[in-house]
Amino acid sequence: MEIDELKKIWVSLDQQIGKQNIVKENILKEVILAKSDKALSRLLNFDIFGLVLTIAVIPFLLFVLSQDVLKPEILRILLWFFIAYMIIDLVPMIWRMVLLSKVDFSKDVAGNIKNIQRYNVFIRVEKTITFVVIMPILIFYLVFPVFSMNLELWRAGALIGACLVTILFAYWQYKRVYDKNISSMLKSLEELRDLKEE
Amino acid sequence: MSKADIEKKFIETIKENERVIYKVCLFYASDEFPLNDLYQEVVLNLWAAFPKFKNQSSFSTWIYRIALNTCISGMRREMRRPKGSGFSSELQNSLIEPEDMGEEIKEMYHLIHNLKTMERAVILLYLEEKSYQEIADITGLTVSNVATKLKRSKDKLRNSLN
């Protein structure tokens, strides 16, 4: 066999595959919808990061409490509240991750939609608790010393800055990380379901 | 253009060029990188790059470039997409494996797999009757480098053939 013969074989291969439709349109559509995989891994990574951060922060907060530096007493009580909330929140955090890990795009679409919707419920509940309960307490916690103690300007500025950063981060995480990726996944999965029903 | 229109245009484009994608993937498919996984990865990368296509090169050049880059980089590192995920089984049924083709094609497939990744790209484009300049445009090599690699690949193939 010579190189020219390879060319002939190549032409015959071309003709052979030219006679049939290689990939059906619906399969192509499914492949491009599989980009949901990326949204899923983004959510999973963000949740893992949140879990690790929470586990790391709890001992630090316990250490702060043990130092007996928090005056007045309301700050100590609020810190206990935060620690308790963080510990309790570990359970839904882990459960959420379990739900995400159950999502498998090569399997049943309806099951995946159900898991993502359940995950979404967890996120919505957490979002409500965060903005209605946790955020106001945290803001109070950070701003309280500004008014109650005679702080230097830079300290007061730093505390107010920390408040703003916390609010912006919370907003960003729900809007840009959770809402965006969850809706992208749900949209793709619903399109997939429609495609399968066609 | 709405997202649905873009998606429709993309699928039409892929259908028009499916032979090109298939042949590139066939060139690089192996037990480690199955044909359907490569095909999925190429389609996904084309989809990601599709909105950025600016008509600076012809569509076929663009498709060759992305398909080859995907296959070559896929061989250099572990594919991001875990094996067996996505729609492998449906794709698997659609794509004809070289093993299921004629003896001659099977033989050619095994010969080509003795070449290095870049040599394979050059030979593939040579078989597609691309000019040296077109091969250079697609692979990012210089024209003289293309000529050298092509000669070396042909020699290797000739030695294997004999």
- For chain B of 162 residues, list the mean pLDDT of each consecutive stretch of 10: 76 84 87 82 84 76 90 64 49 64 77 86 91 91 92 86 68
Predicted local distance difference test score (pLDDT) of residue A46: 93
Inside any domain, residue A42: yes
Chain A positions touching B43 (Cβ under 8 A) are: 28, 31-32
Give residues with Cβ within 8 angstroms of B135, minimum separation 6. B122, B125, B126, B141, B146, B150
**Whose CA is closest to A40, among A106, A87, A92, A129?**
A106
Sorted by where each begins, the domain ranges of chain B are 1-95, 98-162
Predicted local distance difference test score (pLDDT) of residue B134: 92
Pick the CATH number of B1-95 from 1.10.357.10, 3.40.50.300, 3.40.50.620, 1.10.1740.10: 1.10.1740.10
Q: Which long-range contacts (CB under 8 A, 24 or more apart) does B97-100 make?
A: B97/B29, B97/B35, B98/B26, B98/B29
A15–chain B Cβ distance below 8 A for any pair? no
B77-116 pLDDT per residue, tens: 544 444 444 444 555 566 666 666 677 777 888 888 888 8
ipTM of the prediction: 0.74
Chain A to chain B, count of Cβ pairs less than 8 Å apart? 98
Angstrom distance (rounded) from CA B107 to CA B90? 27
| Residue showing tokens 């309301």 | A74
Token pair for A198: 């066609």
**Whose CA is closest to A123, among A87, A83, A89?**
A89
- Specify whether the CB–CB gap between B21 and B63 falls below 8 A: yes
A7–chain B Cβ distance below 8 A for any pair? yes
Q: B154 and A35: CB-CB below 8 Å?
A: no
Strands (E), A69-167: none
Mutation target to probe the A interface, by most A beta carbons within 10 A, among B94, B99, B100, B150 is B94
Task: Please check whether the two domains, B1-95 and B98-162, share a CATH topology.
Answer: no
How confident is the prediction along chain A (198 residues), in pLDDT tens digits per residue?
A: 567 778 888 888 777 776 666 666 667 766 666 666 778 888 999 999 999 999 999 999 888 888 877 667 777 888 888 899 999 999 999 999 999 988 876 667 788 889 999 999 999 999 999 999 988 888 887 787 777 777 777 877 887 888 889 889 989 999 989 998 898 888 777 766 766 565
Q: How many domains does chain A have?
A: 1
The alpha carbon of residue B56 is apart from the nearest alpha carbon of chain A, in Å, by 24
| Secondary structure element (H or E) that encloses residue A73, with its range | helix A73-102
The alpha carbon of residue A29 is apart from the nearest alpha carbon of chain B, in Å, by 7
CA A4 to each of CA B104, B122, B124, B158: distance values in angstroms, whole numbers, following the listed order: 13, 15, 13, 10
Q: A6 and B40: CB-CB below 8 Å?
A: no
Show the domain range for A48. 34-197
Angle between helical axes of B132-139 and B59-76 (0-180°, round to 10): 50
User: Residue B29: exposed, middle, or buried by beta-carbon count in 10 A (0-12, 13-18, 19+)?
Assistant: buried
Angstrom distance (rounded) from CA A13 to CA B113? 17
Predicted local distance difference test score (pLDDT) of residue A172: 92
Pick the CATH number of B98-162 from 3.90.226.10, 1.10.150.120, 1.10.10.10, 3.30.70.260: 1.10.10.10
Inside any domain, residue A9: no
| Secondary structure element (H or E) that encloses residue A55, with its range | helix A36-66
Residue environment code for B93-121, b if the CB has 16+ CB neighbours within 10 A, otherwise e: ebbbebeebeeebeebbebbeebeebbbb
